[in-house]
Amino acid sequence: MLSIKKILKDPATIEKLLKTKDPAISLNPLIESYETFAENLLKLEGLKEKLNSLSKEIGEKKQKGEDTSKIIDSVGTLKVEIKDLQALSNDQKLEYEKRLDALPNVPDSRIKISLDPADNVCIKTVGQKRVFDFPVKNHLQLGEQNKIFDLARGAKISGSGFPVYTGLGAQIEWALINLMIDTHKKNGFEMRLVPHMVNASTMYGSGQLPKFAEQAFCIHDKDFNHYLIPTAEVALNGLYMDEIMNEEELPKKLVSYTPCFRREAGAHGKNERGLIRIHQFNKVELFAFTTPEQSDEMFETILASAEEVLQKLNLHYRNMLLVTGDMSFCAYKTVDIEVYLPGQERYYEVSSVSNCTDYQARRSKIRYFDKASGKNTFVHTLNGSGTATARLMVALLENNQNADGTFNIPDALKKYL
């Protein structure tokens, strides 16, 4: 979440930045609710001080043998008033925090302002689109011919959007995961295997709740109140929730493989069939905790590690710096890595790298002891797909296809097969 102190210090600037993400945002309701809460809190503290003073006075009068009945009556009345005002203060606190929770992270002031994803800025291109001298097949056709996956049986057991990888397809999927993990471990990321279900507090801390509750798969019964993770980022962020980290252990770089579960609600185009947009997919996630001074450099480190995977696979890709209106809820800055898919005749994201500054850390109460200031300071968190395998599988099939419908396997994967 954002800092209420920073908002109150310069609401006009903060609101201007937030409107570049969502023009409907207004800080007035938040500020009004906070000021009401603060006013009553000040009154409540005054009543408590008065109560302490009266209690002390009662003790002094009793020592002198003086009558305290009137003061005791006043104390009783004051306690009822404090109880009522405390309840009101608690409700007011929840109200202003609810409004604060609904605000996204402010974007970097240097990011291009636009609500149209078409305005995203290409900052890097690697390789070139392959030129085919035969009719291009899409991954559905190639998958069926080569028995790479079985969407029909996946739909039979779970519904649409839950693919089953078969034969060589399953081996390639597992090879991709291993290639990614080996690459990122080489680059200094520590491996973690995390739970695939998390509690509501963990979802809230990463920014998934309450805003994205309808996009998550949840398990609610008499024994569990859990969510299937939409990304390992959620669990990795939660590892240090409510903790104070040591400055010496920062930056902390983590990598994790998990399946990811997303509802992906809404209608999608005909080109988004097959593996393009599904409810369950595999992903290797990169995550880092840093000091504020380290986060810019860590952003480039995560981006470079994700790019290295695509370079090893000899895939053409481009890096797109997202405009303010296309960034995620928690992001201060985001670069999407997009690969070209010939069967769809367009680029698709396979990795999204974001610096969330201290936004998630505030929600999760993750701090470190800053020796220079002598204070506990919120860490910065960064995340990036390293990468998602479903669309990567599409890219490998479509970009490496032959005229007869077979496809070539990149050398980097062969040692895993």
Q: Do 245 and 144 share a structural domain?
A: yes
377 and 388 Cβ atoms separated by less than 8 Å: no
Give the residue from 49, 72, 101 where a domain finishes.
101
CA distance between the termini of the chain: 44
Tell me, yes or no, whether 202 lies in a domain: yes
- Total domains in the chain come to 2
Report the candidate in 393, 414, 307, 308 with the shortest Cα–Cα distance to residue 343.
Answer: 393
Q: Identify the domain containing residue 387 by its residue range.
A: 117-414
Beta bridge partners of 284: 257
Cα separation, 56 vs 400, whole angstroms: 84
Task: State the pLDDT at residue 267.
Answer: 43
Q: Do 395 and 279 share a structural domain?
A: yes
Q: What CATH number has the domain bearing residue 140?
A: 3.30.930.10
Cα separation, 283 vs 347, whole angstroms: 19
Q: What CATH number has the domain bearing residue 88?
A: 1.10.287.40
Task: State the pLDDT at residue 271.
Answer: 58
Tell me, yes or no, whether 78 lies in a domain: yes
Tell me, yes or no, whether 144 lies in a domain: yes
Cα separation, 126 vs 212, whole angstroms: 34
Q: Do 233 and 91 share a structural domain?
A: no
Tell me, yes or no, whether 209 lies in a domain: yes
Q: Do 141 and 52 share a structural domain?
A: no
pLDDT digits (tens, 9 = 90+) for 357-392: 999 999 999 999 999 999 999 999 999 999 999 999
Q: Do 209 and 82 share a structural domain?
A: no
Q: Do 76 and 208 share a structural domain?
A: no
Task: Return the SS3 of 5.
Answer: helix
The whole-model pTM stands at 0.93
Task: Return the SS3 of 314.
Answer: coil
Give the residue from 53, 74, 101 where a domain finishes.
101
pLDDT digits (tens, 9 = 90+) for 46-87: 999 999 999 888 888 888 888 888 888 889 999 999 999 999
The values of phi and psi at residue 218, to 5°, are -125, 155
State the greatest distance between any 2 C-alpha atoms of the chain, in Å, as a whole number: 107
Task: State the pLDDT at residue 68.
Answer: 83
Tokens of 178: 């291993």
Q: Do 193 and 70 share a structural domain?
A: no
Q: Do 269 and 166 share a structural domain?
A: yes
Residues of the chain with pLDDT under 50: 266-267
Task: State the pLDDT at residue 67.
Answer: 84
Task: State the pLDDT at residue 270.
Answer: 52
Tokens of 232: 């390992």
Tell me, yes or no, whether 11 lies in a domain: no
Q: Do 125 and 97 share a structural domain?
A: no
Tell me, yes or no, whether 92 lies in a domain: yes
Task: Return the SS3 of 290.
Answer: strand
Q: How far is CA 187 from CA 33, 191, 255, 350, in A?
A: 47, 11, 10, 19
Q: Do 220 and 133 share a structural domain?
A: yes
Give the residue from 101, 127, 145 where a domain finishes.
101
Cα separation, 261 vs 183, whole angstroms: 24
Tell me, yes or no, whether 5 lies in a domain: no
Cα separation, 314 vs 413, whole angstroms: 11
The values of phi and psi at residue 359, to 5°, are -65, -50
Which contiguous run of DSSP H or E holds residue 333?
A: strand 333-341
Q: Do 147 and 84 share a structural domain?
A: no
Cα separation, 270 vs 342, whole angstroms: 15
Cα separation, 103 vs 105, whole angstroms: 7
Q: Do 95 and 124 share a structural domain?
A: no
Tell me, yes or no, whether 4 lies in a domain: no
Beta bridge partners of 228: 197
